[in-house]
Amino acid sequence: MKFLQLSPNFLSQLTRVAQENYILLRELKYFPKVVTLAFIFSLLASVSDGIGIGAILAFLQNLINQDNQIVQTGINWFDIFVLGINEPANNRLYRLSALILLIIWLRSGFHYLQVLYLGIARVTLIDRLRKKIFEQFQQLSLSYFAQIRSGELINSITTELNELQMILNWYSHLIIQWISLLVYALVVIVISWQLSLVALLLLTLLSIGLSTLRKQVREVSFETSKANGHFTSVAVEFISGISTIHAFATQEHERRRFYKASDDIKITQTKSLLRLTVVGPLGGGIGTTIIILIIILGITVLNMPVARLLTFLYALMRLTPMVHGINQTATQISQKQGSLSNINELLRTDDKPYFKNGKVLYSGLKQSIKLISVDFSYNDGSTVLHKVNLEIKKGQMTALVGASGAGKSTLAALIPRFYDSQRGQILIDGVDVQEFEINSLRKKIGVVSQDTFIFNASVKDNIAYGTEGAEEKQIRQAAELAHAMEFIQELPEGFESLLGDRGVRLSGGQRQRIAIARTILKNPEILILDEATSALDSKSERLIQEALEKLSVNRTVIAIAHRLSTIAKAEQVVVLEKGRIVEQGSYQELIKREGKLWSYHQLQRTG
């Protein structure tokens, strides 16, 4: 009995395949109406296939035995009024021909509805998975995005989902092909060249007639391509700008943009389906009409044996392509299991860091922000901050100074909870930052960093990003305070000018001033400046520094500075080295001590 024993490896592979395909069945339950209709029309199409074959066989038998054996079903009213058993032979032939055409056209209608609803189920499922992945991204901690390539995420949410749609399409075709194969499994025999010539002529005319529908499908494909391109653009901006989105607490705005782009794809693909799915059923219906004409022609003109007609019309035209199609479809499904596995892995919830939100609404800073014995490490295990103790008082500027990699940006990122510390506490007026409802906190925090993200939108929309209901007057005032009016007015359409992908139409200094204007409009009470003037030319640096000074008035400021001249007015300067605070005090006090800050000061003077 060894041949009945299954190896553990085989069982694990079988289990994995079942789990990977379970996602398809699991998601289908959310739109039962479409799935039920697809199943019903698939069943009706298969039943009509069987009835059609029976009618055709009866038709052929009536041709062979016109007088000796009359075809009957045993249903009296049907045999008399439909089959016409009391009618002359020719009348019975015409009735059977009409019955066959009726069944075939009904079958074509059912097949059209079957393919249409299977397609709608497929499109709806992919639309649901897109949104499910987006919600997954919204809930994940920023540490997840720090350890994975954004290109991989974009590939999953676009290419891999499209591959999954192909898998669903092939599964539906596989089922249809198997049903049809069972119906049309006949033996191939000799074919008449005369009928082949007639069939070729008629099918050529059919192909010319269907070309109009194909042209319409081609035109709709341009809309689909455009919708896909827009969706990819929105998805890329969402992934690339995730920090800015979290900083300005605009998850709902991004949800609306993402859902709209996904809905556009769904609409265009449905329009394409309405045209695309009619080609096959219409071709099948007209093709079957041609078959009936060929039968009558073969019998009345060519006097061909019925067996040869049966072989020509059914076995050759149905059986061989179906066998080939089943093998090809099964191979294609196997080749795409990787995409299905990737989507399953992306949607897993047990192996990803999720953001845990608090419930306390943040009402504003009243006293200070305290870091108590804070330790932080990234996922690679390297310690970035070690036992940091720091108090940032309301209304004061605290400057963070240190070499690259000292932990300055990481420390600042802990306050709006872009990351959470592994040990220690961060308290705002005595309340742990993790207890706050995060958007209520982030709406009161403004972040201006060297790496500013500009959306592919107008100047006005970029400045107003995160500030709903901002008036044009307020947007202009923010642009003036940020010293941005000069270059905005030089743009072709002013505030309505589109800035391109990641603000490609602007220089680094101009992008920075747009970001400052955005933060001015937001009017935060806590301001984080992360080397906002680094790597800029002297003119841009001077303008941005002036804008930042205006922005910092009457706010609690945490400034990470590359140039020490920009923090000379800070009430508190904190020097970090390898994740530890090594000096702390006012700028002048630390210079007089001639310690680490004084060393940096001397280095910049001589440099």
CATH code of the domain containing 463? 3.40.50.300
Tokens of 66: 């016109």
Domain assignment present for residue 227? The answer is yes
Tokens of 530: 């992360």
What pLDDT was estimated at residue 214? 54
Contacts of 168 (CB under 8 A, 6+ apart): 24, 121, 122, 125, 126
Domain assignment present for residue 53? The answer is yes
Tokens of 74: 């045993």
Residue 456 · residue 501 · CB < 8 Å: yes
The torsion region of residue 424 among left (phi > 0), alpha (psi -120 to 50) and beta comes to left
E strands, 525-593, are: 526-530, 556-560, 572-577, 580-585
What pLDDT was estimated at residue 306? 61
DSSP string spanning 352-397? Answer: SPBP----BPP---SSEEEEEEEEEE-TT--EEEEEEEEEEETT-E
Statement to judge: residues 298 and 168 lie in one domain: yes
Statement to judge: residues 343 and 471 lie in one domain: no
Domain assignment present for residue 587? The answer is no
Statement to judge: residues 127 and 246 lie in one domain: yes
Domain assignment present for residue 573? The answer is no
What pLDDT was estimated at residue 463? 93
Residue of 373, 425, 454, 428 lying closest to 558 (CA atoms) = 428
Domain assignment present for residue 112? The answer is yes
Residue 587 · residue 557 · CB < 8 Å: no
Residue 264's CB is within 10 A of a number of other CB atoms, namely 18
Statement to judge: residues 318 and 200 lie in one domain: yes
Contacts of 3 (CB under 8 A, 6+ apart): none
Domain with 186, as residue range(s), is: 17-347
Looking at 347, 372, 388, which one is the last position of a domain?
347
What pLDDT was estimated at residue 509? 84
Residue 268 · residue 466 · CB < 8 Å: no
Q: Which residues of 434-451 are buried (b: 16+ CB within 10 A; e: fewer)?
A: eebebbebbbbbbbbbbe
Residue 421 · residue 141 · CB < 8 Å: no
Looking at 523, 552, 574, which one is the last position of a domain?
523
Domain assignment present for residue 484? The answer is yes
Looking at 523, 550, 569, which one is the last position of a domain?
523
Rounded distance between C-alpha atoms, residue 436 and residue 425, angstroms: 13
What pLDDT was estimated at residue 107? 82
Residue 428 · residue 421 · CB < 8 Å: no
Domain assignment present for residue 128? The answer is yes
Statement to judge: residues 256 and 126 lie in one domain: yes
Rounded distance between C-alpha atoms, residue 210 and residue 208, angstroms: 6
pTM over 0.85: no
Rounded distance between C-alpha atoms, residue 160 and residue 154, angstroms: 9
Helices (H), 241-250: 242-247
CATH code of the domain containing 119? 1.20.1560
The three-state DSSP-derived secondary structure of 87-156 is CCHHHHHHHHHHHHHHHHHHHHHHHHHHHHHHHHHHHHHHHHHHHHHHHHHHHECHHHHHCCCHHHHHHH
How far is Cα of residue 136 from the mean position of the Cα atoms in its chain? 11
The number of domains in the chain is 2
Rounded distance between C-alpha atoms, residue 295 and residue 104, angstroms: 15
Domain assignment present for residue 404? The answer is no
Averaged pLDDT in 10-residue chunks for the chain of 607 residues:
40 50 72 82 76 62 55 62 66 74 83 84 85 86 75 73 76 71 52 62 60 58 64 78 84 89 84 69 65 73 63 58 56 60 76 85 92 86 87 92 88 91 92 93 89 88 90 92 89 89 82 89 90 67 78 87 78 91 90 85 69
Distances from the Cα of 276 to the Cαs of 28, 51, 228, 264, 270, in angstroms?
A: 23, 27, 18, 18, 10
Instruction: Give me the amino acid identity at 203.
Output: L
- Helical (H) or strand (E) element with 400: strand 397-401
